[in-house]
Amino acid sequence: MRRVLGSVPYIRLALRNQKHNYTSSSAKLQEHLRSANSAYRLTNNAEIHRSVGVQPSCITSRSLSTDNAPVTDGDLNRGGPLVEYERRISVGELVDGDDFQVGTLRELQRLYDELVESADSCQLDRYTASKKAARSRWLWSRFLPQSSYSPVKGLYLYGGVGTGKTMLMDLFYDQLPCNWRRRRIHFHDFMLNVHSCLRKHKGVEDPLEVVAGEIYDESVLLCLDEFMVTDVADALILNRLFKHLFSNGVILVVTSNRAPDNLYEGGLQRDLFLPFIATLKERCISHEIGSSVDYRKMTSAEEGFYFFGKDKSSLLKQKFQLLIEAETASPQEVEVVMGRTLQVPLGANGCAYFPFEELCDRPLGAADYFGLFKKFHTLALEGVPIFGLHNRTSAYRFVTLVDVMYENKARLLCTAEGSPQELFRQVVTISDAQHIAPRTSSRSRKSDDSDLCVDNELGFAKDRTISRLTEMNSKEYLEQHDSIVAEKKLSQDGINADVLEA
């Protein structure tokens, strides 16, 4: 009985969304829109709220009430990301400025409307959907193989770094009814979970089919952020995994820096990956965010803890000591996946200290970094080098490390041999390399850049890393980090108090 009563609010919410009953709030929103100032304004509290915390305040957007992108009464009388976007503009949480984001929002609104209309046929409601276990479905499909593609196609958003892809997807995700079977996860984290589940089902005839069934049981709508394929093992898995997922009825929403046709470009055994691209394009509508503006770089940079020069080690340790306050730093151990552990040279008060070699020259990956930031909210990293051909593998690990830190809204203190741009100046794509003047008889061999690293994936990923390092060093990002840490501390103190009282 308690379970039934507990589900009533969710059922009511689903019914409200399905009926598009937003008339009462539209009048207030229209009043806001009439008085909204269309001038550019960047506020320190322009935050995107998510269920896990507060998002960065550095994204700018264009008002939907302009001549180029008018909002009709029909837009205002329904829910979804487009209306929420304009509401945030009207109250100053976002600012005007980008037609490309408006176009993307209309695609997200279209998807939202289709999902609301098809919620029953897509079995989105977790309280009314079938409760078949994944293994049972797999066993039954041995006798009666069947396909149930969703009537709704997903969305593949791609574009340059800092154009607001993640912000827009999160805005879309936050408008979805909480009783829906949905999940938003970083692609790195998603693939780690897939590999872990495959090990758990080792010995089954087709473990990928079982894993796909488990994913569907939890998440009909799957939102993957920062889709980027660099690992050959992931590339070989994705085609079969997503064939099963789409066949089960999963709807995919993706953000990526790469167009679908450019995924895993130049990768090992790419011919085996190409069918996945075809499947992806069949089941998702591709939409490019064409903005050339990197909004992460509009923050107040150089407010943080990014120190230039090899002789800054003592300064980094001094800053680290200030952050851990009265606690004494000591070696610690972090549990990651499958019983593995990561040794932390120094750690205290949520802060970890690593030489660059310990974290990026060793055979570590996303799983280790995710494990690290489950326990620590701040990383002091000493001695980030200039990247080139000689340390390409370390560069890949550093890119992954920054991705994981950004996803977890962690704070970075580091000493580096150059600015974020200078760290990657030797890393270029094949296209960039073709524009570099070749050596001629008038140029000596010594003047050639022998450490030039020509790598398409790393060449594209570096722009995202440079952008994120810039934002992570900003006042806005650090204020957001402090807010999240304080909120977690209050929550933990409350749990500890309840335990003591008990």
Contact between residue 373 and residue 410 where contact means Cβ atoms under 8 Å apart: yes
List, as one string, the DSSP characters of 226-279.
Answer: S-----HHHHHHHHHHHHHHHHHT-EEEEEESS-GGGTTTT-TTGGGTHHHHHH
Domain stop point among 234, 258, 289:
289
**Residue 134 included in any domain:** no
Report the pLDDT value the prediction gives residue 100, as an integer from 0 to 100: 74
In the beta sheet, which residues pair with residue 427?
453
Say what angle helices 207-218 and 187-200 make with each other, to 10 degrees: 130
**Residue 368 included in any domain:** yes
Report the pLDDT value the prediction gives residue 463, as an integer from 0 to 100: 87
CATH of the domain at 101: 3.40.50.300
**Residue 361 included in any domain:** yes
Q: CA 423, CA 427: separation in Å to the nearest integer?
A: 9
- 184 and 231 in a single domain? The answer is yes
Structural domain of 234: 81-128+147-289
| Total structural domains within the chain | 2
Domain stop point among 257, 289, 321:
289
Report the pLDDT value the prediction gives residue 480, as an integer from 0 to 100: 87
Q: CA 331, CA 333: separation in Å to the nearest integer?
A: 7
Q: CA 317, CA 382: separation in Å to the nearest integer?
A: 9
Q: CA 210, CA 203: separation in Å to the nearest integer?
A: 11
- 115 and 249 in a single domain? The answer is yes
- 214 and 253 in a single domain? The answer is yes
- 354 and 467 in a single domain? The answer is yes
The residue type found at 367 is: A
- 265 and 320 in a single domain? The answer is no
> How many other C-beta atoms can be found within 10 angstroms of the C-beta atom of residue 401?
27
Report the pLDDT value the prediction gives residue 154, as an integer from 0 to 100: 96
Contact between residue 175 and residue 112 where contact means Cβ atoms under 8 Å apart: yes
- 283 and 382 in a single domain? The answer is no
**Residue 311 included in any domain:** yes
pTM, two decimal places: 0.62
**Residue 141 included in any domain:** no
**Mean pLDDT of successive 10-residue stretches along the chain, which has 502 residues:** 43 42 39 36 34 35 37 54 85 68 89 95 82 48 62 92 82 94 93 90 91 94 92 89 95 93 87 93 92 55 70 88 92 86 95 96 92 94 95 95 93 92 91 69 51 88 89 86 87 65 62
**Residue 53 included in any domain:** no
- 267 and 352 in a single domain? The answer is no
Report the pLDDT value the prediction gives residue 501, as an integer from 0 to 100: 65
What are the phi and psi torsion angles at 428 (to 5°)?
-135, 160
**Residue 487 included in any domain:** yes
What are the phi and psi torsion angles at 161 (to 5°)?
-70, 145
Q: Which residue has the tokens 């009563």?
A: 5
**Residue 118 included in any domain:** yes
- 308 and 267 in a single domain? The answer is no
> How many other C-beta atoms can be found within 10 angstroms of the C-beta atom of residue 26?
16
- 328 and 416 in a single domain? The answer is yes
- 474 and 365 in a single domain? The answer is yes
- 383 and 313 in a single domain? The answer is yes
Q: Which helix (H) or strand (E) holds 501?
A: helix 475-501
- 228 and 120 in a single domain? The answer is yes
In the beta sheet, which residues pair with residue 428?
454
Contact between residue 478 and residue 303 where contact means Cβ atoms under 8 Å apart: yes
Report the pLDDT value the prediction gives residue 439, as an integer from 0 to 100: 52
CATH of the domain at 472: 3.40.50
Domain stop point among 255, 289, 323:
289
